[in-house]
Structure 1
C-alpha cells in the first residue's frame, strides 16, 4: 500500500468510525438487530453502507475531472472546517438520547402499519404473492428493509458528504477501503451489541472527537500543496 493510498485509508477509517458511531443509521441497525435475525440486518445495513461509500468516493474522484483541482481542494478544506464546527455544535447541545428514541418510534410506527396491512390480507396469499415486489422474490424482506432504511438514512448525511470531499482530495481507492472497513466495524458493533451498546455510547464524546478530527483534516488541507 503506497503512501497516498495509506493516507486516504487512515483518514477515511478514522472519519468513518467517528462519524458512524452514534449516528442514526447506527441506532437503526442496533434496534433492527433486536427484532430481526442479526445476519439479515447486518447484510442489509452493511451492503447499503458499502454501496454508499463506493458511490460517494466515485463522486469525489470525478469532481476534480469536472472542476479545477484547486477549487475542489478549497471546497474540501471548507467542508472539513464546516463539519468540524457542526460536530462540535452537536457535542455541546442538549438532547443526547433523542436519536435513539426517535428512530425507535419511527420503526415501531412502521411495524404497526405493516402489521395492520398483513392482518387485512391474510386470506389472500396467492394474490399477495403475485403482487409481491420483484426484489422480495429473491431477497429477504428484512434484508431489503435494513438496506433501504440505511441507504436513504445515509443519503445527504454528513459522513457521505465528507467521504465525497475526502475522495476528491485523497486517493479514492484508499478512501473506499478505509470507509468500508470503518462501516463494517461500526455496523457489526451495532448489530452484535444491540440496543444496550447504543445506550452506553456517549454521543457528546463521539461528536467532540469527530469535530476535532475534521478540524485537523482542515488544517492539514490548508497546509498541503494542491496537486496540479
Structure 2
C-alpha cells in the first residue's frame, strides 16, 4: 500500500472514531433537527476542510523539522491523552445547543461557522496535527476530513431515523480503546527509533 493510501486510511479511521460522541457530532444532530441534512453536511465539510488543512500544515511542518523519534514519542503521549479525553466525554453546553437551535441564517453558513469554531483546539484537530507529523500531508488531510464528515453524517442519519444517539458508553469506550491502542503502537515505534 502506498504512503498516500496508508495516510488516508489511518487518518480516516482515527478521526472517524475520535468524532464519535464528540461535541461537534452533537452539534450536527442539533443542526439536522432544524435544517435539511445536505446543507448541514456541506457546512461541516467546508469547516472541516479548512481546519484540517491548517492542522496538517502545522503537523507536516513539525514533522519536517523535528527528529522522528521524538515526534513519535510526543504523538504516542498525545494519543494516550486523547484516549483519556474520550473517556471523560464531551457534551454541548446549554448556550451551544441554544445557538445551534435558534440560528436563522443559511444552514451552510451557520454550520460552517459553528463547526469551524468548535473544531479549533478540539481533539480531532490535535489528532490531525499528530497524524500529519507521521504521514503525508495530503493523505492525512483527505482522510481526516472525510472521516469527520462521515462520522457527522452517521450521527445525522441515525439521529434523524431513530430519534436518539448511538449507545454513548459503547462509543466512548471503543473510541478510547482505539486511541490507547494507537498510543501504545506509537510509543513502541518511538522507543525503537530512540534506542
Question: Which has the bigger relative contact order, CA under 8 A and spacing at least 6?
Answer: 1
2:112 counterpart of 1:147: yes
- Structure 2 stretches of 5 or more lacking a match? none
Measured on the aligned residues, the alpha-carbon RMSD in Å equals 2.6
Instruction: State the shift of 1:100 in Å.
Output: 8.1
Provide TM-score, normalisation by structure 2. 0.84
Deviations 1:170-216 (A, max 9, x none): 23332222212212312322334445657231222112111111111
Q: Is the 8 A contact 1:48 1:150 kept in 2?
A: yes
Between the aligned partners of 1:188 and 1:45, the Cα distance in structure 2 is 9
How much has 1:103 moved relative to structure 2?
A: 4.1
8 Å contact kept, 1:9–1:179: yes
Answer yes or no: is 1:184 the counterpart of 2:164.
no
Alignment of 1:208 onto 2:173: yes
Of residues 170-179 and 38-47 in structure 1, the stretch that sits farther from structure 2 once superposed is 170-179
Using the size of structure 1 for normalisation, the TM-score is 0.73
> Could you tell me which of 164, 168, 171 is aligned with 2:136?
171
Segments of structure 1 that go 5 or more residues without pairing to the other structure are 91-95, 115-139
What does the per-residue CA deviation read over 1:32-56, in whole Å, with 9 as the maximum and x for residues that have no partner?
1221233221211121112222221
Structure 1 residue 105 corresponds to structure 2 residue 93: no
Which residue in the other structure is 2:47 paired with?
Answer: 48
